[in-house]
Amino acid sequence: MSINIQGKQVYLITGNTRIGGAQRIALDEFYELSNRGIKVKLVSLNPIIENDDILKVDKNFPPAKDISILSPGSGKMKQIKYFIQEFAENPNKIHVVSHDFSGVLISRCAGLAIRKRITIDLYIHQLMDLSDSRQRQKRIFLSLFATNVYVSSFQFKRSWEDYLNNSRLWRILYRKKIHFDRMGVHVPRILNTAYNKTKVCKFSVPHIIFMSRITAWKGFSVYSEFTKKFVNDAVHSLILTTKNGRPEIFNETLFIDELNHVVYESGVSNLELPHGSVHLYPTNYGQGVSYPQSIGMNVLELLAVGIPSVISPEGFQSWPELESSVMISTSDWSDEADLESQVNRLCNITETDLKAEVERLLPIISISNHIDRVVGRMNKSFLG
């Protein structure tokens, strides 16, 4: 897409650099925008947390070595002053892409303080149902300071719109349109061949994979119970997670042996995953959630390297192209025999069929589609 914004400045704002979906998206946006020659700065409102840093996941990806994540320090006033200085030093128009609600307010206050016009796009990555009443009111209020409001999944859009429409107050006061703009992954990062990938174990056998934070709602207990029964010499388990987990749920001394492996702070791009491996993502949002989402960044990344997933029931509103994919299967996790059958089917997909499906899916799950839309909006904001 043609764009001429030399001398203009784009800011990507994230609340922190912890290993998570929103942080993954922000960093992949940075890679993709930088690849297109766009001046972009990545700002984290909170300092880096040891053993929970998304940049460490990308340690083997050459562009990651040149990234300097800016941090204004803690405290809203200090952060506002930081952005005042940043915005004041650039004589041209500013475009902010914020993946954090506070980032919207902070950047808006900074722009108003120096009477500078800035465009702020807020990206929401949460279901309204998972927030308590106070969080809901705060997030809705902060979103009012954005120029545009986007959600990264159709489920988030429905969740927010339902809540706003059912609220007597916000149904009247909230006039912003919530746009659905699905994300994706930076394919060159995942398929990086600039180094030798690490083997997860000395045996080239299929692995049952859990790739997420270890929390109850992400279904770690379901994964754990399944692997306890079905892991053997021919099928191992692999947990990809962070050290800042839940010790009451996950005790690494009980999960690490010759058959069960744990790798911390590493993405799939760093590892050599044997053919036949399968990812389990048994999310359970609870009874009060109307629009559960089971396709996360972890599912997309694993698809890119040829690893199929069994996920919780999903409407596929955000990713309709995956509903018929041979690499995706759904389970309500109640029938152990059925789950075993699904895992066995996915384990036995031929390498030829996997390669063909990955080739079909890569253009679909690439974040370049999302960045095309972001760049188009930047063009309009800078020319407006």
Query: What's the pLDDT score for residue 290?
Result: 87
Superfamily in which the 188-365 domain is placed by CATH: Glycogen Phosphorylase B; (3.40.50.2000)
Domains 9-186+366-383 and 188-365 share a fold: yes
**C-alpha neighbours within 13 Å on the C-beta side of residue 196:** 2
Average pLDDT, the chain: 92
Q: Confidence class of residue 49 from pLDDT cuts 50, 70 and 90?
A: confident
228-314-277-27 Cα dihedral, nearest 10 degrees: -110
- On the 0-12 / 13-18 / 19+ scale of CB atoms within 10 A, 309 is buried
The per-residue pLDDT for range 139-196, each reduced to its tens digit, is 999 999 999 999 999 999 999 999 999 999 999 999 999 999 999 999 999 999 888 8
The tokens describing 289, both together, are 């959630």
Helix-strand-coil split of the chain, %, nearest 5: 40, 15, 40
Whether 195 and 383 have beta carbons less than 8 Å apart is answered as no
Query: What's the pLDDT score for residue 163?
Result: 95
Query: What's the pLDDT score for residue 287?
Result: 83
Where are the chain's structural domains?
A: 9-186+366-383, 188-365
Which of 100-112 are b and which e, b meaning 16 or more Cβ less than 10 Å from the residue's Cβ? bbbbbbbbbbbbe
Query: What's the pLDDT score for residue 256?
Result: 85
The tokens describing 188, both together, are 């060159």
Closest C-alpha among 361, 370, 372 to residue 300: 361
Quote the CA–CA distance of 325 and 260 in Å, as a whole number. Answer: 28
User: For domain 9-186+366-383, which CATH number applies: 3.30.465.10, 3.30.70.1060, 3.40.50.2000, 3.40.630.30?
Assistant: 3.40.50.2000
Q: Confidence class of residue 384 from pLDDT cuts 50, 70 and 90?
A: low
How many CB atoms neighbour CB 68 within 10 A? 8
Sheet holding 118-124, edge to edge: 40-44, 9-14, 94-98, 118-124, 148-151, 178-180
Residue 4 has pLDDT above 60, yes or no: no
* AA identity, residue 80: I
Query: What's the pLDDT score for residue 1?
Result: 32
The tokens describing 377, both together, are 């909006």
% of the chain beyond a pLDDT of 70: 97
Which helix (H) or strand (E) segment holds residue 168: the answer is helix 168-173
